[in-house]
Amino acid sequence: MSSFEDADTEETVTSLQVTVYHPGQMQNGIFQLIRFSNPEKLPSSEVVKFGQNSTICRYTSQDKQVSVQFSLQLFKKFDSSVLSFEIKNMSRRTSLLVGSTELGYLNKVELPYRCMVHFGEYQLLVEKEAGESLEFFKTLFMMSPRPLLQEHGWPAGKPNPELCRSPSWSTQSTSQSASPTEMDENEY
């Protein structure tokens, strides 16, 4: 056997970077429980939830007006070896804008490679890097000191940044804290 045949192949890992912004993040400590700039390795079967309830949400906001806002789940298409994410709105009261798509309660959509997700006064720039590992995926949360919609030149009413490109993880700025603005009737 040649050394080429003996060489181990390394699977790429699906990664998700989420840069967050909320106008009250500095004063209210809304994102104080999120460990920013600290990559996390999660099992591929985990459904990641964002909201206020720390018993069921992996990434929590200290805003009492939000319960479980949305979930992210890894999946693999039938015709591809590359894994992707779907995002689902878990709020009965607040629509979730994913790029230019408005999601009502329990609606879901595949995340594009780069998109703006927002609800209430929350703005999240979500960037993913495709991978093939079936065992785990990685997440990285960053905080922006400035409104993401303005910083990237996207209109606040209907963001449309669904560009297919890989994230540039090293160029993001960090900061601390933010808060949701809607009360969810699913509060646990």
The CA distances from residue 160 to 100, 114, 118, in Å, are: 5, 10, 12
Would you state the pLDDT for residue 62? 78
Answer whether residue 177 shows pLDDT above 70: no
User: Per mean pLDDT, which range of 6-20, 71-85, 109-123 is the poorest?
Assistant: 6-20
Mean pLDDT of 8-35: 85
Global pTM reads 0.74
Answer whether residue 173 shows pLDDT above 90: no
Nearest residue to 31 via CA among 54, 7, 2, 1: 54
Backbone angles phi, psi at 90, to 5 degrees: -105, 5
Q: What is the C-alpha to C-alpha distance for residues 151 and 172, in angstroms, rounded to an integer?
A: 12
Q: Which domains does the chain have, with CATH numbers?
A: 12-171 (2.60.200.20)
Answer whether residue 149 shows pLDDT above 80: no
Answer whether residue 74 shows pLDDT above 50: yes
Higher pLDDT, 87 or 5: 87
Backbone angles phi, psi at 128, to 5 degrees: -120, 155
Q: What is the C-alpha to C-alpha distance for residues 164 and 7, in angstroms, rounded to an integer?
A: 32
Would you state the pLDDT for residue 158? 43
Higher pLDDT, 48 or 172: 48
| DSSP bridge pairs for 116 | 125
Whether the CB-CB separation of 84 and 130 falls below 8 Å is answered with yes
Answer whether residue 60 shows pLDDT above 50: yes
Q: What is the C-alpha to C-alpha distance for residues 175 and 164, in angstroms, rounded to an integer?
A: 26
Would you state the pLDDT for residue 151? 64
Would you state the pLDDT for residue 31? 87
Higher pLDDT, 179 or 75: 75
Nearest residue to 139 via CA among 5, 24, 47: 47
Question: Residue 185: which region, alpha, beta or left (left: phi > 0; alpha: psi -120 to 50)?
Answer: alpha
